[in-house]
Amino acid sequence: MNQGRYLIDFNLKDIEKEYYDVLIIGSGIAGVYTALEIPEEYKIAILTKESIDISNSVLAQGGIAVSLDKGDSPEFHYRDTIYAGAGLCDEKSVWILVNEAAQNIENLLKFGVNFDKESPEQLSLTREGAHSKNRIIHAGDSTGKEVCDKLIYVVKAKDNIKIKERVFAVDILTEGNVCKGILALDEETMSLKAYISDIVVCATGGFGQIYSNTTNPDVATGDGLGLAYRAGCELMDLEFIQFHPTVLYHHENKSFLISEAVRGEGAILRNVNGKRFMPEYHELNELAPRDVVSRAIFEEMVKTGSDYVYLDITFKSTDYLENRFPNIFKTCLGYGIDISKDYIPVAPAEHYCMGGIRTDVFGRTSIKGFYACGEAACNGIHGANRLASNSLLEGLVFGHKIGEEVVEILKNRTDNYALDIKSRNNYTKKEVNIEGIRKELQKLMTEYVGILRNRDGLMLAKQKIDSFYEEIGNLKSETIKEFELQNMLLISKLVIDSSLEREESRGAHYRSDFNKTDDEKWKRNLLKVRN
């Protein structure tokens, strides 16, 4: 079954409309910062399917990478990013990222973001995996929350920015290949509404919820990628999915991130027998790239017949750990784990999607007027494996670039709102076990499209997802869960197709049946676009 161009039947003439200069979908760091980069004379709406403070960004613990130390430079940051990306980074995008990092951090300081400091004039710097220098600025172990809280506070004070909470973006409205707005579902009234604008920025985050174990919040169901694909946007690098090596493994919680910054402060990994193992896998030991550490942990779990390994930072004092990692210390203590005395049980879990909606450095997609930023976008920065703490930075740098681009368009724009858009796919209502399919999908993706992959497993997952499509058929989606499942099935199918196509191992994509990197055939990006 192929999804229709739109997930719902409608006639735009019959739908309530609101008009804006710019629409932004998503309220993480990329969406909110982009809104603040657009001058106040323009009318902006931020649409978010939950409350504005629920996003991947808010959960980000470690920090933001920026070369501020005397012994560091954008060139070193560039080199480390390229190395982690395993040959698939876009060099132009990375160069912009590292060179425009400092000015955007300066903007955050002006917005009142309170980073940890060595002195009144100097920010504290730590190191994370695959970084050659100490360049991670942080706010305790809740950096994402601190940044988002401050940005949201500023946004709420702006008269030109309207925050539309519990509004689910169903599809982009297009005429030809031109963006005209968003078709959305108001979750309070369960009625359709059209938000009309010829500039839409997609900052909806990733799609971690297609996996059983993920650090992502429940909202990360790939909705932005789904609506972009249906409208004809190119998606890129979907096979590259990062599994964070160290996520708390506890029967009450298997999604709480134990920040890479803990390893940056010297923590070591031990298997369940107490043996340190990372020196056997990589010269950078615990600070090797995330894909290397995740596979090493997975291999140790298989060797020892365990579902987890240990992270050991017991050589640090209680006072130090409570001050440096207050959220991690408190959370672990709540589960009976005193990290100053006890090893932390951890296992890898899905964390970040390197792939997304293909964009250039100004966030432009293959649809005129439609932009993407943050984890929903793919401009080639991360290549096959994201360097730690480049994600929040990406949202800032390219949110700023989109702001620059949008201002130039708005200056020269002529309004054209004579819209006649309709869709008639004759969707029908039927009884479908939405929650059952969702859970089975997540289990399939975790088992066969996770850290280790092979053709047999990928084909089995592909066939099962095809059967889900058959079961759903021409479903008339009316609830958020139904729309989310449509997007999750679509993205899962595209991830599997990309993983089958790439017959090599590179970065976060590891095929046990093609376990070597093959630059001659595969040093290239894979695109997926609707036929």
Check which CATH number belongs to the domain holding 255 and give it.
3.90.700.10
The rounded distance, in Å, linking the Cα atoms of 380 and 207 is 18
Is the pLDDT at 418 greater than 70, yes or no?
no
**Of these residues, 230, 263, 290, 438, which one is catalytic?**
290
Catalytic site includes residue 230: no
Exposure letters 450-463 (e unless 16+ CB within 10 A, then b): bbbbeeebbeebbe
Query: Which pLDDT belongs to residue 52?
Result: 84
> What mean pLDDT do residues 104-122 have?
93
Q: Tell me whether residue 338 is in a domain.
A: yes
Local confidence band at 474 (pLDDT 50, 70, 90 cut-offs): confident
41-50, 208-217, 415-424, 500-509: which has the minimum mean pLDDT?
415-424
DSSP string, 153-200: HHHHT-TTEEEEETEEEEEEEEETTEEEEEEEEETTTTEEEEEE-S-E
Q: 155 with 72, same domain?
A: yes
pLDDT at 242: 94
Q: Please report the pLDDT score of residue 235 as a whole number.
A: 98
Q: Does some domain include residue 184?
A: no
Q: Find residue 345's DSSP bridge partners.
A: 310
260 or 282, higher pLDDT: 282
Count of structural domains, the chain = 3
| 3 state SS of 93 | helix
| pLDDT tens digits, 17-33 | 999 999 999 999 999 99
Same domain, 461 and 389: no
Same domain, 68 and 107: yes
pLDDT for the residue numbered 430: 85
How far is 502 from 230, CA to CA, in rounded Å? 23
Sign of torsion over alpha carbons 483, 489, 495, 498:
negative
| Alpha carbon 319 to its chain's center | 33
SS3 percent helix, strand, coil of the chain, rounded to 5, is 35, 20, 45
CATH number for the domain including 521? 1.20.58.100
Phi, psi (5° rounding) for residue 306? -115, 160
Q: Average pLDDT, stretch 234-251?
A: 95
Per residue in 390-414, pLDDT (tens digit) is: 999 999 999 999 999 999 999 888 7
Domain containing 518 equals 426-525
Reported as a pLDDT band with limits 50, 70 and 90, residue 531 is confident
Residue pLDDT, tens place only, 324-359: 999 999 999 999 999 999 999 999 999 999 999 999
Do residue 280 and residue 252 come from a single domain? yes
Amino acid at 162: K
Give 39-84 pLDDT, tens digit per residue: 999 999 999 998 888 777 777 777 999 999 999 999 999 999 999 9
Asked whether the predicted pLDDT for residue 322 surpasses 90, the reply is: yes
pLDDT for the residue numbered 415: 66
Model confidence over 290-300: pLDDT tens digits? 889 999 999 99
Asked whether residue 442 is domain-assigned, the answer is: yes
Same-domain status, 128 and 145? yes
Assess whether 251 and 325 both reside in one domain.
yes
Containing 469, the helix (H) or strand (E) segment is helix 455-472
Assigned domain for 203 exists? no
